Amino acid sequence: MADNPGLTFERLPHPAPTDAAQRVAALANPGFGTVFSDHMVVIDWEEGKGWHNATIGPRVPLSLDPATAVLHYAQEIFEGLKAYKQDDGALALFRPEANARRFNASARRLAMPDLPEELFVESVRLLVETDRDWFPTVDGGSLYMRPFMIASEAFLGVRPAKKYKYLVIASPAGNYFKSGAPAVSIWVSRDYSRAAPGGTGAAKCGGNYAASLVPQAEAIERGHDQVVFLDAEEHKWIEELGGMNLFFVFDDGRIVTPPLSGTILPGITRDSLLTLAREAGLDVHEERYSLEQWRADAASGKLIETFACGTAAVVTPVGKLAGHDGEVLIGSGGPGQLTQKFRDRLVGIPRGTVEDKHGWVMKLG
């Protein structure tokens, strides 16, 4: 269904852009997800017509019929990627075509139309360039881009909608961790699964995140930072956190990450780390790792580091594993050496301070 790739964007004038002083104040300490830039991209899709009506214009509230399908059956997908301002002022995206591919994989799982990859990348590029004054001024800040697609047909039957809207919004984001990355404590969910075989775990759809809120709240309530999910069949194998993939580092040099079994999100950070680790000659394995083994290896000292990875926080050390059976420290309980090394490289590549050997960085105008 990849049609109309050659769409051109109509520019809609903004009648009242944010006042410069107000924008500058917001950019000094944007936090995450609460400050938004002035513009947005919208493209419509309709059965028989394909993608049409591509615009970049003022960011305004959507007006939806109360029967709009997404409000009832959650036919919705999204992506998350960061735009960076490098030291020389150049704007850059990190592997946006990988987000475009994953967006379409999610679309297929949710019975939604494919968006041509070049249109996805172009829409993100256009919004970054249009809102180039919205980069945070804090050290380590970025412009977080949120492309998403919703079923926009007003119809209450349970079937794939015949109309969709694709949008991109941008949100200035501060440095996730103000100084370095503190080790997080994670809680193993015993009562909840994130995704079952045959389900939507590998898709980036809103429903997965709605389902993770109760177990995440349980982790916080118990004094931990994040929840880790086990597989839904045996409740034995480590899958991922609510919004990050996991890596384990052993004293014999082995590195393990859970395989893309269809129940975890294929993280772009995960994929980039696998490439960097293999290239460095490290002994990397995509294989299942059980909770029981994780506990035993952390206790014996065989496991020396664990880290989580994803776009938002890049690479985050995991210092403690907790569950109904008690707690265990991982390594020293603080950031490990390899974790720090990977973090420095992955933070540096898109910012232009570490060489981009793989052509991962797309420089914008």
Ligand X SMILES: Cc1ncc(COP(=O)(O)O)c(C=O)c1O
**What residues between 224 and 243 interact with ligand X by CB under 6 A?**
240, 243
Q: How far is the CB of 93 from ligand X (least distance, A)?
A: 13
Residue 263 in contact with ligand X, rule: CB under 6 A = no
- 206 phi and psi angles, rounded to 5 deg: -55, -35
Tell me the CA distances in angstroms from 19 to 25, 34, 37, 172, 311, one per residue in order.
10, 17, 12, 16, 30
* Local structure of 19: helix, strand or coil: coil
Q: Using the minimum distance from each CB to ligand X, give the nearer residue, 267 or 317.
A: 267
| Stretch near ligand X under the rule CB under 6 A, chosen from 14-22, 59-67, 151-159, 260-268 | 260-268
- 124 part of the interface to ligand X, by CB under 6 A: no
Closest to 134 (Cα-Cα) out of 212, 205, 36: 36
Select from 35, 69, 205, 244 the one that contacts ligand X (CB under 6 A): 244
Phi-psi region of 235 (alpha: psi -120 to 50; beta: other; left: phi over 0): left
The answer to whether residue 80 forms part of the interface with ligand X (CB under 6 A) is yes
Local structure of residue 22 (DSSP, 8 states): H
| Residue 352 touches ligand X, criterion: CB under 6 A | no
Whichever of 125 and 204 has its CB closer to ligand X, that residue is: 204
Strand 226-230 relative to strand 76-78, pairing: unpaired
Q: Is 184 in the site for ligand X (CB under 6 A)?
A: no
H or E element: which one contains 256? strand 254-257
Stretch that binds ligand X, among 230-238, 251-259, 266-274, 324-332 (CB under 6 A): 266-274
- State how far the Cα of 87 lies from the Cα of 324, in Å rounded to an integer: 47
Nearer to ligand X, 244 or 303 (CB): 244
Where do runs of H (alpha helix) occur along 188-336? Answer: 206-221, 268-279, 291-300
Residue 267 as a binder of ligand X (CB under 6 A): the answer is yes
CA-wise closest residue to 103 among 93, 113, 94 = 113
Name residue, tokens 């994953």. Answer: 102
Q: What single-letter DSSP state applies at residue 6?
A: T
* Closer residue to ligand X (CB): 273 or 338: 273
220: how many CB neighbours lie within 10 A of its CB?
12
Least distance between ligand X and beta carbon 238 (Å):
13
Task: Pick the binder of ligand X from 142, 171, 185, 269 (CB under 6 A).
Answer: 269
Closer residue to ligand X (CB): 160 or 206: 206
Q: In angstroms, what is the C-alpha Rg of the chain?
A: 21
Site string for ligand X, 274-313 (x = CB under 6 A): ------------------------------------xx--
Among 75, 171, 200, 245, binds ligand X (CB under 6 A): 245
CB of 59 to ligand X, least distance (A): 22
Q: Where do contacts with ligand X occur on this chain (CB under 6 A)?
A: 80, 240, 243-245, 265, 267-270, 310-311
